[in-house]
Amino acid sequence: MNALLSAAFVLCWSSGFIGAKLGAGTADATTLLMWRFVPLALVLIAVAAVSRQAWRGLTRREAGRQIAIGALSQSGYLLSVYYAIQLGVSSGTTALIDGVQPLVAGALAGPLLRQYVSRRQWLGLWLGLAGVATVTTADAAAAGAAVPWWAYFVPFLGMLSLVAATFLEGRSRAAVAPRAALTIHCVTSAVLFSGLAFGAGTAVPPADSSFWLATAWLVVLPTFGGYGLYWLIMRRSGVTEVNTLMFLMAPVTAVWGALMFGEHFGPQTAVGLAVGLAAVVVVRRGAKPSRTATVERAEETGGTPRDAGRATVRVSSR
């Protein structure tokens, strides 16, 4: 059962990048994101009105913090991912750059959260960056002049936005129920993306049925499937297990994108992905905290994944 849940989680989470690729050919990124989050936000608001238990004890200050976290971990992150894919960056490369987030967060955890990493973890960070560089250069060479060189820096902006959200929550001492946090994040994204879409004149959705297929894909698979399975697996197996599965997103997405869209997947791409996975092994072996301590601390903070020896892997609905 655990193996099936893990496989379903990896597929659902990876589907977010594939859904972004599906929608990229039908409408502008702001249009797709607006119509992904507006219906979702309305559903979550309706659920919140019926079930208020998750909202008890939530202060205005903590709600404001969650709005900021949502703006960074969902709005800023997803806009950069969708825009990069719209520019022509492959879904696999975008997923790999996203996958470096825990390594970057771990490297910055020392000065920001006083959670210092070992030399072996630093080695893993540089190894992970080498893997990203290898895959990115292969992707750029295959795309040629069709994709502007600066487009490959766009996913990095989203990854840094995710890191910023990580540390913003890491400084919070109040526990917020996952359901309440998800509602705040999605409502924040719905408002921001609606503002961007109306401001750019892209709010009207296309009549093409493929647009609505991509939108439904993004709401059902990565949001409900990926997010729901994340918390289920974390409660069953612990934070370490979930974090390990997160690093499988890049190779799965790269293969999926190659099969579904004909995206480039050559020997250099395979080597880069292998280097990235090796970096994960190095980082995990260099971690000092025990699994029990990690799970206990996660439970104390309301279920938020937070390692004692590395920074939080921020959850966002892809």
Contact 251, 98 (CB under 8 A): no
Alpha-helical segments (H) within the chain = 2-24, 29-50, 60-70, 77-87, 91-99, 101-113, 119-143, 154-170, 178-200, 209-218, 227-237, 239-246, 249-261, 267-286, 291-300
Q: Using 50, 70 and 90 to split pLDDT, how confident is the model at 305?
A: very low
Q: Report the amino acid identity of residue 172.
A: S
Token pair recorded at residue 143: 């795309």
Looking at per-residue pLDDT, the higher value among 311 and 12 belongs to 12
pLDDT, residue 293, reads 40
User: Average pLDDT of 288-312?
Assistant: 40
The C-alpha atoms of residue 227 and residue 26 are separated, in whole angstroms, by: 25
Strands, DSSP E only, in the chain?
Answer: none
| Number of Cβ within a 10 Å radius of residue 296 | 13
Q: Report the amino acid identity of residue 303.
A: G
Return the biggest CA–CA distance within the chain.
54
Tens digit of each residue's pLDDT (9 = 90 or more) over 234-269? 677 765 566 667 777 888 888 899 999 988 888 888
Nearby residues of 299 by Cβ (< 8 Å), 6 or more positions away: none
Q: Using 50, 70 and 90 to split pLDDT, how confident is the model at 171?
A: confident
Mean pLDDT of all residues in the chain?
79
* CA angle 9–13–19, rounded 5-degree value: 135
Q: What percent of the chain has pLDDT above 90?
A: 28
Contact 264, 258 (CB under 8 A): yes
| pLDDT(297) > 60 | no
| Burial (0-12, 13-18, 19+ Cβ within 10 Å), 257 | buried
| pLDDT(145) > 60 | yes
Nearest to 306 by CA among 175, 124, 120, 157: 175
Q: Using 50, 70 and 90 to split pLDDT, how confident is the model at 189?
A: very high
pTM of the model: 0.78
Q: Using 50, 70 and 90 to split pLDDT, how confident is the model at 110?
A: low
| Burial (0-12, 13-18, 19+ Cβ within 10 Å), 134 | buried
Token pair recorded at residue 173: 């001492």
Q: Using 50, 70 and 90 to split pLDDT, how confident is the model at 44?
A: very high
Nearest to 84 by CA among 95, 100, 73, 74: 95
pLDDT, residue 72, reads 93
The C-alpha atoms of residue 235 and residue 242 are separated, in whole angstroms, by: 10
* CA angle 233–234–235, rounded 5-degree value: 90
| Number of Cβ within a 10 Å radius of residue 85 | 27
Sign, CA dihedral 43-49-50-51, equals positive
pLDDT, residue 241, reads 65
Contact 95, 250 (CB under 8 A): yes
